[in-house]
């Protein structure tokens, strides 16, 4: 399962919404609802089914954030991480298998397979690196972090720029999980 690489991942914070584009996940989060944009591929359907399960669990749970928008964001970040880990769990064993076979015998077919897998892994690593950079950029922007509390802005109680600990911890957790 390869994440889409046709566009750089992004999380854009706007006045009344958070716009998310992470691989095959595209969403618009508001303070009281979330829109998930569908894609017709089978791969995207599987990811979105997992996302819907995560959203239901997070929204109904009292254990995660009290903010609807952060519950949605957490479900999306977890789904993206799940998708990346699944891709990794497919690619790495294939690489290991080809390398083991190359230890026993070197032939053109195995070298061709290794080249294909190397290219897949390079694309996968570029995807992970771009998500990591996205988290870095968000974490360095206090204004965007504070603006992610859409519920409070909707009730005319916007957060101060430095008051964003909960969303900062959330992003740091998922950023750290990328290479973990």
Write down the pLDDT at residue 44.
72
- pLDDT score, position 50: 87
Report the CATH number that the domain containing residue 87 is assigned in CATH: 1.20.58.340
Q: Is 81 within a domain?
A: yes
Confidence of residue 4 (pLDDT cuts 50, 70, 90): very low
Domain assignment present for residue 1? The answer is no
Count of structural domains, the chain: 1
In this prediction, residue 158 carries a pLDDT of 84
Classify residue 162: in a domain, yes or no.
yes
Question: Residues 69-99: pLDDT tens digits?
Answer: 999 999 999 999 999 999 999 999 999 999 9
Residue 2 lies in a domain: no
Would you state the pLDDT for residue 5? 44
> Residue 87 falls within a domain, yes or no?
yes
Q: What is the pLDDT of residue 174?
A: 95
- Residue 5 located in a structural domain: no
> Which one has a higher pLDDT value, 132 or 4?
132
Give this prediction's pTM. 0.88
What is the DSSP annotation of the chain?
-PPP-SS--EEEE-SS-EEEEETTEEEEE-SS-EEE---SSHHHHHHHHHHHHHHHHHHH-SSS-S-HHHHHHHHHHHHHHHHHHHHHHHHHHHHHHHHHHHHH---HHHHHHHHHHHHHHHHHHHHHHHHHHHHHHHHT-HHHHHHT-HHHHHTT-PPPTT--HHHHHHHHHHHHHH--
Q: Which domain holds residue 173?
A: 10-178
Mean pLDDT value of segment 35-45: 76
Is 112 a member of any domain? yes
20 found inside a domain: yes
Question: What is the per-residue pLDDT across 98-133, written as a single tens digit (0 to 9) for each?
Answer: 999 999 999 999 999 999 999 999 999 999 999 999
* Predicted pLDDT of residue 64: 65
């Amino acid at each position: 399962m390869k994440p889409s690489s046709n566009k750089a991942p992004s999380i854009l914070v706007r006045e009344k919404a958070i716009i998310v584009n992470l691989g095959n996940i595209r969403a618009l989060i508001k303070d009281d609802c979330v829109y998930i944009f569908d894609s017709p591929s089978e791969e995207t359907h599987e990811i979105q089914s997992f996302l819907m399960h995560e959203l239901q669990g997070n929204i109904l749970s009292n254990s995660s954030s009290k903010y609807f928008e952060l519950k949605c964001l957490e479900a999306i970040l977890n789904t993206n991480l799940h998708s990346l880990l699944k891709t990794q769990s497919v690619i790495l064993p294939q690489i290991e298998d080809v390398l083991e076979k190359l230890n026993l015998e070197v032939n053109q077919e195995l070298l061709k397979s290794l080249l294909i897998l190397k290219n897949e892994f390079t694309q996968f690593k570029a995807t992970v690196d771009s998500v990591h950079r996205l988290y870095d950029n968000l974490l360095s922007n206090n204004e965007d972090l504070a603006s992610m509390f859409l519920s409070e802005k909707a009730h005319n109680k916007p957060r101060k720029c430095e008051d964003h600990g909960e969303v900062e911890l959330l992003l740091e957790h998922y950023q750290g999980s990328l290479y973990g």
